[in-house]
Structure 1
Amino acid sequence: MTISFKKSYKFALKSSLYIFLFAIGGLFLLNKFYIQTDFWPLLCFAIGLFVFSFFVLQYRVERFIYRRVKRIYDDVSLLENASFRNQPVTTDMATLTREVQKFARDKKIEIETLKIREEYRREFLGNVSHELKTPLFTVQGYLLTLLDGAMEDKQIRKKYLQRAEKGVERLIYIVKDLDMITKLEMGDINIELSEFNIIDVVQNVFDLLEMRAAKKNISLVFDTKYKYPIKVIADQEKIQQVVTNLVVNSIKYGKQGGTTEVSIEDLVNNKAIVRVTDNGEGIAKSNIPRLFERFYRVDKSGARSEGGSGLGLAIVKHIIESHNEKIYVESEFGVGSEFSFTLEKAK
């Protein structure tokens, strides 16, 4: 450990100077009124006292301050702060004060972050428990009813088994989404880049969700007729999942007889932006910052009646960010919503 004693030298020098001046004054008075002797021996004695005082004071101050400052460093180091462990011990009080204040600020931020994470963990576990509990209890209820005697009735048996199957399907859906988002957050899913036509991907999603949209009489349309392909570079399978999740959301929260429109536009820096717009119920401004959180639902009762895992938008966000792209949302309550994301265009 290297030690800086610049200010302690200054302190010792000033203190020794005071002692020297006091000794000179005292000896001058003694020499004048009591002891008649040469002045030079007295001056030499005073200078010797000055030098002796300087070294004694310097040594004592260094030892006194260093021991106490080192104790502070040792106490702080017990908290395993790497920045304090690696820094040299300093006896400069101003520097020490700044370092301790910085340490306190950093620890406060760290504690606040841990509190937020702990709250998030509790909320996440509660949400997972709630999402899994509903289909589990549903399946259990139908199976218990069958075991209690309803199995003899063929119509009831078939109906209850079909309903139990739907509950199991929802459980599988939730578990798959949980597995995917966990892998996305940990970076365990590889992004396989390829060149493909984004228009074909959107059309595939429209074909897959056409019947679901028809139940609410919602039209799935492009904003215009694209005569030429728009090639992008991304993971085609995962981008199709992004578009699927966004269109499913627009259907889920869309109004009867509404429209879900997809547009693809050019941006600067060789980027394309895909917009999914609906004229559904819209989202209140207070809810927008939390839209991409896991299990967060704007309308909890309505969303659960429509099914889903509550992880769709969280998965969308992670997939887009894993491509180093951006996702945006604009919405006005009672008017509709627009989700958009960027992709790199093929050259």
Structure 2
Amino acid sequence: MEIRKTYKFAFKTALYITIVLTLAMSVFLYVFYTISWVNMLLFTLFCYALSFGVIQYRVQNFIYKRVKKIYADLTLLESTTFRKKRITTDMATLTQEIDKYARDKKIEIETLKVREEYRKEFLGNVSHELKTPLFTVQGYIETLIDGAANDKKIREKYLDRANKGVERLIYIVRDLDMITKLEAGDVRIEIETFNILELIESVFDLLEMKAAKKRITLTLDKRYSQPILVKAEKEKIQQVLTNLVVNSIKYGTEKGTTEISVENLIKNKVIVRVTDNGEGIEKENIPRLFERFYRVDKTGSRKVGGSGLGLSIVKHIIEAHDENIYVESEFGVGSEFSFTLEKSK
């Protein structure tokens, strides 16, 4: 196998040896014999060729074999990194490749650590979310079995509460199933053309009573004279809008406002903004808002209900449409969630 990287080393080393030997031979012949320039030239060429051959042989059979072993060891760790590359005895190149390999492995290890922490946190959250309604249902049923079922009022009250606990379990499992399918790419997006303003109005109608309990006003930012047609799956975008508005109501202030606007972004895109004047979100929590089961308030937020999966579902639905979602918030002032959609021509 041709080892081009060793030629430069062999050429230079052979030249140095030849110069030293030629000078030594010249001094020797000058002192003891008559110098023949032809013989000196022949000696120089012979010495250079011999030195080059010996050095190249030694590099190939000593250094190259050891470098090849390093590549072999690295190949065992990462089968695709070095296999297709020419093996080189150039130390600078080899050092760069090993450094790159080390950096890649460090990043990989750090990523695995982050994922492990996320996995532990996720399993803990799933356990908590399922455990609470399960124990609630179990408690009511055991109480009824122990004799409370004989009292009609208590029976109806406990059965109603147990039913709510089961509904919460179904809600969580359904949302988990949807997220799993979205992440796996098993949910097909059926693109259709519809008026986004009509869809917003229907979401407002659906959530009007929920908002009225906190005296929150649901409104568009202005009166739109023309329909705004977009291309997306209507049912999925309705779920996005519903989840965002429900969140704004949950964390909104009494007599607050949830406002939705639709603006042209670029030629073929619109951006839908859902803005509220609720409690807002602290900056350190914003990067993790779309994680499954992530809670901004680890203690009090569970009182408002929900599966803790709403924003994660929103993110996956928007990304399944090849669109983007954004969030801006100032603690104590309010929040704005916005997402893009393709505009129909």
TM range (shorter): over 0.9
Q: Which amino acid aligns with 1:246?
A: L
SS in 2 for 1:71: helix
1:198 to 196, 199, 205: 196
C-alpha contact 1:213 1:220 (8 A) present in aligned 2: yes
C-alpha contact 1:4 1:92 (8 A) present in aligned 2: no
- 1:216/1:75 CA distance change after superposition, 3 Å: same
In the alignment, what sits opposite 1:129? 127
1:246 to 244, 248, 262: 244
1:285 to 279, 283, 286: 283
The RMSD of aligned alpha carbons is 2.1
Unaligned runs of 5+ in 1: none
2:308 to 310, 315, 340: 310
In the alignment, what sits opposite 2:137? 139
Partner Cα distance (1:123, 1:328) in 2? 24
Partner Cα distance (1:89, 1:162) in 2? 73
In the alignment, what sits opposite 1:112? 110
TM-score (norm 2): 0.92
Q: Which amino acid aligns with 2:133?
A: P
SS in 2 for 1:301: coil
- 1:43/1:245 CA distance change after superposition, 3 Å: closer
In the alignment, what sits opposite 1:322? 320
In the alignment, what sits opposite 2:331? 333
Work out the percentage of aligned pairs sharing the same amino acid.
Answer: 66
Which string of whole-angstrom CA distances, capped at 9 and with x for unpartnered residues, describes residues 250-300 of structure 1? 110011222222222223222222221222111122222221111112223
Partner Cα distance (2:151, 2:10) in 1? 101
Structure 1 residue 137 displacement after superposition: 0.9
Partner Cα distance (2:103, 2:63) in 1? 24
Residue range with higher mean Cα deviation, 155-164 or 300-309 = 300-309
C-alpha contact 1:3 1:89 (8 A) present in aligned 2: no
SS in 2 for 1:85: coil
C-alpha contact 1:287 1:298 (8 A) present in aligned 2: yes
- 1:212/1:61 CA distance change after superposition, 3 Å: same
In the alignment, what sits opposite 1:94? 92
Partner Cα distance (1:77, 1:99) in 2? 12
C-alpha contact 1:16 1:50 (8 A) present in aligned 2: yes
Q: Confirm whether residue 70 of structure 1 aligns to residue 68 of structure 2.
A: yes
- Count of matched residue positions in the alignment of Structure 1 and Structure 2: 345
Partner Cα distance (1:224, 1:35) in 2? 110
Q: Which amino acid aligns with 1:52?
A: L
In the alignment, what sits opposite 1:174? 172
Residue range with higher mean Cα deviation, 30-39 or 223-232 = 30-39
Structure 1 residue 328 displacement after superposition: 1.8
Partner Cα distance (1:179, 1:234) in 2? 22
In the alignment, what sits opposite 2:257? 259
1:155 to 153, 156, 171: 153
Unaligned runs of 5+ in 2: none
Q: Which amino acid aligns with 1:231?
A: L
In the alignment, what sits opposite 2:218? 220
Partner Cα distance (1:247, 1:291) in 2? 15
